Structure 1
């Protein structure tokens, strides 16, 4: 879990790290201080995933409603 969270992280990478955190916490044998750190990191990853999904949703709305015509769906990474 030493990987740093980055705004350039893909949705899939963030979800993978989040799943690893959940597995560790569910095992229940993590010391309290580490559990708190993992929980905080998980919340940040969850927020990152939520933001990425909302951005894709906005792009889809734009694509589907622009001039009443549907355009091909193209995902571009966010520049941050």
Structure 2
């Protein structure tokens, strides 16, 4: 089963950074579940009203709204339905 979730990390300068990760749980032969995670997007806070959103392929986009940056990443990563 694959699911996505946002995690918050703080860089060495104390700035919050958000990463969208995909988590997939796999069953091992010994019956112990194993979770694999990979980063599929991120948002870095540049100032009080400035954010930089990016995808792993190198595509970036500046935003003045955190919620718009989240929506852009989720649409680009196809983690929410568009329609």
Larger Rg: 1
TM-score, length-scaled by structure 2: 0.28
* Structure with the higher fraction of residues in helix conformation: 1
* Structure with the higher fraction of residues in strand conformation: 2
TM-score, length-scaled by structure 1: 0.29
